[in-house]
Amino acid sequence: MQDITAVILAAGEGKRMKSKNSKLIQKICGKTLIEWVYKAVTEAGVKDCIVVVGHRADQVRECMGDKAQYALQDERRGTGHALMAASKYFMGKGGNLVVLSGDTPLITPETIRYAVKCHIENGCPATVITAEIDDPSGYGRIIRDKEGYVARIVEQSDASSDERLIKEINSGIYCFAVRDLIEALSKVRDANSQSEYYLTDVIGILSCEGKKIGAVKVRSSEEIAGINDRVQLYQASRVMQRKIAFEHMKAGVTIIDPDGAYIDDGVRIGADTVIYPGTFIEGETVIGEDCVIGPNSRIAGSVIGNGVAVDNSIILESTVGEGTRVGPFAYIRPGSSIGKGVRIGDFVEVKKSVIGDGTKASHLAYIGDAEVGRNVNIGCGTVFVNYDGIGKYRTSVGDNAFIGSNSNLVAPVAVGENGYIAAGSTITDNVPDNALAIARERQVVKEGWVIRKGRQRKGKD
Length of the chain: 461
**Which listed CATH number (1.10.1200.10, 1.10.10.10, 3.90.550.10, 3.40.50.300) goes with 4-224?**
3.90.550.10
| Residue-level pLDDT at 182 | 95
Model confidence, pTM: 0.91
What's the rounded Cα separation, in Å, for the pair 303 and 284? 9
| Residue-level pLDDT at 245 | 98
Which of the four pLDDT bands, split at 50, 70 and 90, describes residue 206? very high
pLDDT surpasses 70 at 460: no
Please, how many CA atoms are within 13 Å of residue 232, restricted to the half-sphere of its CB? 19
Which of the four pLDDT bands, split at 50, 70 and 90, describes residue 192? confident
CATH number for the domain whose boundaries are 234-437: 2.160.10.10
| Beta-carbon count within 10 A of 282 CB | 18
In single-letter form, the type of residue at position 232 comes to Q
| Beta-carbon count within 10 A of 415 CB | 27
pLDDT surpasses 80 at 371: yes
Q: Per-residue pLDDT averaged across 196-214, rounded?
A: 92
Q: Are strands 141-144 and 309-310 parallel, antiparallel or unpaired?
A: unpaired
Rounded to the nearest 10 degrees, what angle do helices 200-208 and 178-185 cross at? 100
| pLDDT tens, position by position, 19-35 | 999 999 999 999 999 99
Is 363 an active-site residue? Answer: yes
Q: Per-residue pLDDT averaged across 63-70, rounded?
A: 96
pLDDT surpasses 80 at 1: no
| pLDDT tens, position by position, 243-295 | 999 999 999 999 999 999 999 999 999 999 999 999 999 999 999 999 999 99
Cβ–Cβ < 8 Å for 383, 358: no
Q: Which of 9-18, 28-37, 289-298 has the lowest mean pLDDT?
A: 9-18
3-state secondary structure 228-252: CCHHHHHHHHHHHHHHHHHHHHHCC
Cβ–Cβ < 8 Å for 417, 430: no
| pLDDT tens, position by position, 124-167 | 999 999 999 999 988 999 999 988 899 999 988 889 999 999 99
| pLDDT tens, position by position, 73-84 | 988 899 999 999
What's the rounded Cα separation, in Å, for the pair 439 and 212? 89
| List of residues 6+ apart from 237 with CB closer than 8 A | 28, 29
| Residue-level pLDDT at 461 | 54
| Domain residue extents for the chain | 4-224, 234-437
Of 346, 343, 392, the residue nearest 369 (C-alpha): 392
| Residue-level pLDDT at 316 | 98
**CA-based Rg of the chain, rounded to a whole angstrom?**
31
| pLDDT tens, position by position, 89-98 | 998 788 999 9
Quick check: do 4-224 and 234-437 share a fold? no
| Residue-level pLDDT at 156 | 87
Mean pLDDT of the chain, nearest integer: 95
Q: DSSP secondary-structure letter at 312?
A: S
| Residue-level pLDDT at 332 | 98
Cβ–Cβ < 8 Å for 415, 401: yes
Which of the four pLDDT bands, split at 50, 70 and 90, describes residue 457? confident
Residues paired with residue 279 on neighbouring β-strands, in sequence order: 261
What's the rounded Cα separation, in Å, for the pair 57 and 35? 15
Q: Are strands 69-72 and 126-132 parallel, antiparallel or unpaired?
A: unpaired
| pLDDT tens, position by position, 300-336 | 999 999 999 999 999 999 999 999 999 999 999 999 9
In single-letter form, the type of residue at position 378 comes to I
| pLDDT tens, position by position, 415-454 | 999 999 999 999 999 999 999 999 998 888 999 988 998 8
